């Protein structure tokens, strides 16, 4: 949420996720309670390895010990999937101290190792995920086939088992109506485009998740390099679109940015979708130099903190939809007042 990293005005975050399964154990959806419990115990034992402790200190959090609100917040922070939060038996998440590493246990696969970095650091995220995976592989016997590679619950992950993605803020491409053409080209080179929470989710606030689709027939490095190269081109297109907006539509963009700033600063009620769009407008205004004195970090924080789970965690109670909308507006007003200076 601090938003520190290369190209962070466009790339919000970089993520690499590795799917792994233990040999001789059924996939989580078919495993018995005893089998999934044994998988969890084996994962927990790896946490005692010195090689892993050198990477970070980790904490294992069983989902059975969490309430629905705690699980919702983890989903909103992209540390666990909705699938793990809702359906997993003997599910758990292993978190590093700074939450840049999260390992889901007994989700769709036995292990899903995820590394999340701010800004455009997809190669760094891969290096860290690979280090963590190497430690687990020395202690656990993975399901592996010489021809197919790593075996996974879903056939689309077979091979490397890797999903790499970048979360990109692309307001200028949306405003200039170029986004459909760009995203169509992206899908033609083996990449997928999803919303803020992955498959099946909406692209709120002009945030798009670009990820690899192919996991079989390419090395991990080839997958990362392909995503890196395409993301670099999208960054260049977004920068060009922003400059064109400044040159040809400056007053219209300024008006839109300032209207959103005014609404965010004074609104008494605000739903998730409108908040995301208004925050996107203000973030663009900051990046274009139209708004001064407001840190872009405040916008990054609010993109997460204005989500339903976070609002209820802050309130310390379950809230109705109307109550959440009022709390969201209040939170945004207060954060703009207290956090507006860089």
Tens-place pLDDT, residues 280-334: 999 999 999 999 888 888 878 888 888 898 899 888 888 999 999 999 999 999 8
Residue set of the binding site? 13-17, 78, 112, 163-167, 194-199
Q: What is d(CA 91, CA 123) in angstroms, rounded to the nearest whole number?
A: 29
> Which phi and psi angles does 150 have, rounded to 5°?
-70, 135
Q: What is d(CA 19, CA 226) in angstroms, rounded to the nearest whole number?
A: 19
Residue set of the binding site for ATP? 13-17, 78, 112, 163-167, 194-199
Q: What is d(CA 46, CA 54) in angstroms, rounded to the nearest whole number?
A: 13
Q: Reduced to 3 DSSP states, what percent helix, strand and coil does the chain have, rounded to the nearest 5?
A: 50, 20, 30
Tell me the pLDDT tens digit for each residue of 133-169: 999 999 999 998 888 888 999 888 888 999 999 999 9
> Which phi and psi angles does 67 have, rounded to 5°?
-90, 175
For residues 5 and 118, the answer to whether their CB atoms sit within 8 Å is: yes
Tell me the pLDDT tens digit for each residue of 64-122: 999 888 999 899 888 999 889 987 679 999 999 989 999 999 999 999 999 999 999 99
Please report the pLDDT score of residue 221 as a whole number: 92
Cα dihedral 41→44→45→51 (10° resolution): 160
| The pLDDT of residue 190 is above 70 | yes
Q: What is d(CA 197, CA 80) in angstroms, rounded to the nearest whole number?
A: 10
Strand, helix or coil for residue 78 = coil
Q: What is the Cβ-side half-sphere exposure of residue 180, based on CA atoms within 13 angstroms?
A: 2
Q: Which of 153, 157, 159, 144 has the alpha carbon at shortest distance from 30? A: 153
């Amino acid at each position: 949420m601090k938003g520190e990293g290369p190209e962070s005005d466009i790339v919000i975050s970089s993520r690499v996720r590795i799917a792994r399964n233990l040999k001789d154990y059924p996939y989580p959806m078919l495993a018995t309670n005893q089998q999934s419990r044994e998988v969890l115990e084996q994962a927990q034992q790896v946490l005692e390895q010195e090689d892993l402790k050198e990477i970070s200190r980790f904490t294992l959090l069983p989902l059975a010990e969490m309430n629905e609100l705690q699980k919702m917040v983890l989903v909103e922070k992209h540390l666990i999937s909705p699938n793990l939060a809702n359906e997993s038996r003997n599910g758990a998440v292993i978190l590093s101290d700074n939450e840049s590493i999260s390992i889901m246990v007994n989700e769709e696969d036995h292990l899903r190792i995820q590394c999340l970095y701010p800004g455009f650091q997809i190669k760094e995220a891969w290096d860290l995920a690979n280090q963590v995976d190497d430690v687990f592989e020395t202690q656990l016997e993975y399901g592996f086939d010489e021809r197919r590679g790593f075996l996974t619950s879903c056939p689309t992950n077979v091979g490397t088992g890797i999903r790499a993605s970048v979360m990109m803020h692309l307001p200028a491409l949306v405003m200039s109506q170029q986004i459909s053409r760009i995203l169509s080209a992206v899908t033609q080179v083996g990449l997928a485009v999803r919303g803020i929470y992955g498959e099946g989710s909406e692209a709120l606030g002009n945030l798009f998740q670009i990820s690899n689709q192919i996991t079989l027939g390419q090395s991990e490095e080839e997958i990362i390099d392909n995503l890196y190269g395409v993301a670099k081109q999208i960054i260049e297109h977004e920068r060009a679109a922003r400059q064109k907006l400044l040159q040809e539509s400056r007053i219209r963009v300024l008006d839109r940015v300032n209207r959103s700033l005014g609404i965010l600063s004074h609104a008494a009620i605000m739903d998730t979708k409108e908040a995301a769009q208004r925050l996107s407008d203000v973030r663009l205004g900051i990046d274009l130099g139209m708004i001064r004195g407001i840190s872009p970090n405040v916008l990054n924080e609010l993109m997460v903190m204005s989500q339903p789970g976070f609002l209820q965690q802050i309130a310390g109670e379950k809230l109705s939809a109307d109550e959440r909308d009022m709390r969201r507006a209040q939170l945004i007003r207060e954060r703009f007042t207290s956090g507006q200076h860089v």
